[in-house]
Amino acid sequence: MGKNRIREATVLDIPEIQRVRNNVEENQLSDPSLVTDSDVADYITQRGKGWVYADNERIVAFAIVSVTDRNVWALFVEPGYDKKGIGRQLHDRMMDWYFGQTADVIWLSTTPGTRAESFYRKSGWQEAGLYGKGEIRFEMTFESWKNRERAAKS
C-alpha cells in the first residue's frame, strides 16, 4: 500500500463513503437509498464526526459516530482492505474522540454471526440485548474504554 492515513471526513467524501458502504459483504443495506447523502452529511457535520482511511487518495474505510444519538452510526472497511488493522485504527480514533466529548454510554448494533460482532466483542463492547430486526445491541461505558486503554499500555 502507498500513502495511508486517517483524516476527518468532509462532505466532499460522501460519494466515496457511500461507495464503500454499498460494497461491503456483511451488514449490507437491504435498500441503499435508505441512507442518503444528506443523512451522512448530518452525521458528520451536526450529530457527530466521521473519519476516513485513505490508501493513497482512495477512501477504503470510514467510521462515523453520533454524540447526539450516543451511538456508532457506521464503521465499514472495503473488501480487500479488511484484516489489516484499518478498522481498529478507525474504531479507536472514533472512540477516543467520542469519550473526549462526553462520558455518556455509547451503543451500536450489528448482525449476529458476523465478523463485526466478533470485532466489537474483542474491542471490549458488552452485549446489551437485541435491537431492531434481530441485531445485537452492544454498549461501551467511559470507564470500560479508559480501562481498556490502560490495560493495553501496561
pLDDT tens digits, 32-51: 567 889 999 999 999 999 99
Distance CA 11, CA 150 (A): 34
Residue 50 · residue 9 · CB < 8 Å: yes
pLDDT 10s digits, 109-152: 999 999 999 999 999 999 999 998 899 999 999 999 999 766 66
CATH number of the domain where residue 110 is located? 3.40.630.30
Task: Output the pLDDT for position 67.
Answer: 97
pLDDT of 1 reads 44
Is the confidence at residue 2, as pLDDT, over 60? no
Q: pLDDT at position 54, please? A: 94
The CA distance from 61 to 97, in Å, is 17
Number of domains in the chain: 1
Residue 74 has pLDDT above 70, yes or no: yes
| Domain assignment of residue 147, given as a range | 4-153
Contacts of 50 (CB under 8 A, 6+ apart): 8, 9, 13, 17, 40, 43, 44, 62, 63, 64, 65, 74
On the question of pLDDT at 12 being above 60, the answer is yes
The whole-number pLDDT of residue 133 equals 87
| Structure confidence at residue 13 (pLDDT) | 96
| Residue environment code for 121-133, b if the CB has 16+ CB neighbours within 10 A, otherwise e | eebbbeeeeeeee
